[in-house]
Structure 1
Amino acid sequence: MYRMNKTYLALFVAGLCAMAACQPMKMDTYEKNVDVPNHQWSADFKPEFQVTLQPEDTAYLYNLYVNVRHRDAYPYSNIWVIITTQFPGAQPIAQRVELPLEDVSGKWTATPAGMMNAADDIYDHRIPIQLRAILNRPGTYKISIEQNMRQNPLPDIMNIGLRVEKAGHR
């Protein structure tokens, strides 16, 4: 009898978990990183990210970041990109943005946690592109990132990503 009760309990818990997985979840943080083919970022390679907000998510402000992972051999102190944003039901808007990778002394910057893999000379950056942004429409936002440097392809870029996190109520 004890064994049967444990089985029913396990099935009940599994059922609750399955039902919870079907419920729409509020977005607290979205983060996705994409591998750059052959670590050579061509202007033709434009990673696109899709962030879906539920109606209750529109009551918040959001911080938006671009993630960049590169090797120490990357030859520049920054990357210029074109970020194209399409709000739900609207036309895309493109904006040219500079992503600084070095500080004024010429040293690579990194995320606040100092995420650098010194053994491999790989650097991870989380660069803010908009803080306390208003995303006031429920639905899917599409954001693409295109490198816009004079050199094409751009060498030693390993990953490009997007992070969107809640920054508090509006």
Structure 2
Amino acid sequence: MLNHLTHINRKSVVKTMNLVFMLTILCLTHSCDKKYINIHDFEYNEWAKFDTIDFNFNINDTTKTYDLSFFFRNSINYTYRNLFLLIDLNHNGRIIQIDTVEYKISDKYGKWLGRGLGNMKDNYLIFNQNMMFNKEGVYKIRIRHGMRQDPLLGVNKLGLQIK
């Protein structure tokens, strides 16, 4: 009986966490001047080394600057202090920018830098601020992780936000 109650409590905590996450994203998208937000969920909380995540977005105004950032949700099963991302920015099938970026996920003592309750931590990672695009049209950001572990465990979500 106690085991059944524990299972129910875990399910309700997970449902509550997902509801809070969705409400947070909803509030963020309506409270700010967001141009784009898209989130990829990782099945089984793992990211295979050559599993490329694609985000497509449209740029209509080349006179404005844009801030690009990533949302990364990890569980406490993520065993690293950092996250390396291999990023390609494409326009019309041509790569226009290639980056390898390192983000800190925890400090040297193992304290998570992201926010969150329970087993999940939400990290907001700045990629490029005040970026200008030379041409209008559809752009694609392709992302792979650059960590040694394959698959990378404890990865729940990765998102792109452009404002």
Aligned-partner residue type, residue 139 of structure 1: G
Q: CA deviation at 1:100?
A: 1.4
Aligned-partner Cα distance in 2 for 1:164–1:105: 32
Encode CA deviations 1:54-105: one digit per residue, 9 max, x unaligned: 1xx2111111111111101210011111001113463353221112112455
Residue in 2 that maps onto 1:77: 81
Q: 1:51 to 1:101 in 2, by over 3 A?
A: same
Residue in 1 that maps onto 2:69: 65
Q: CA deviation at 1:44?
A: 2.0
> Do 1:61 and 1:132's aligned partners in 2 also have CA atoms closer than 8 Å?
yes
Aligned-partner Cα distance in 2 for 1:63–1:103: 25
Any unmatched runs of 5+ in structure 1? Answer: 1-26, 166-170
Percent identity between matched residues is 26
Aligned-partner Cα distance in 2 for 1:148–1:102: 17
Larger Rg: 1
TM (norm. structure 1) is 0.70
Q: CA deviation at 1:161?
A: 1.1
Aligned-partner Cα distance in 1 for 2:55–2:141: 5
Of 40, 47, 53, 1:41 maps to 47
Any unmatched runs of 5+ in structure 2? Answer: 1-32
Q: How many residues align?
A: 131
Encode CA deviations 1:11-55: one digit per residue, 9 max, x unaligned: xxxxxxxxxxxxxxxx8421111011211110121110011011x
Aligned-residue CA RMSD (Å): 1.8
Aligned-partner Cα distance in 1 for 2:149–2:108: 23
TM (norm. structure 2) is 0.73
What is the correspondence of 1:16-165 to structure 2 with a 5 Å cutoff?
28-54=34-60, 57-88=61-92, 90-103=94-107, 106-110=110-114, 114=115, 116-118=116-118, 121-165=119-163
Q: Secondary structure of the equivalent of 2:62?
A: helix
Aligned-partner Cα distance in 1 for 2:162–2:98: 18
Q: Secondary structure of the equivalent of 1:38?
A: helix
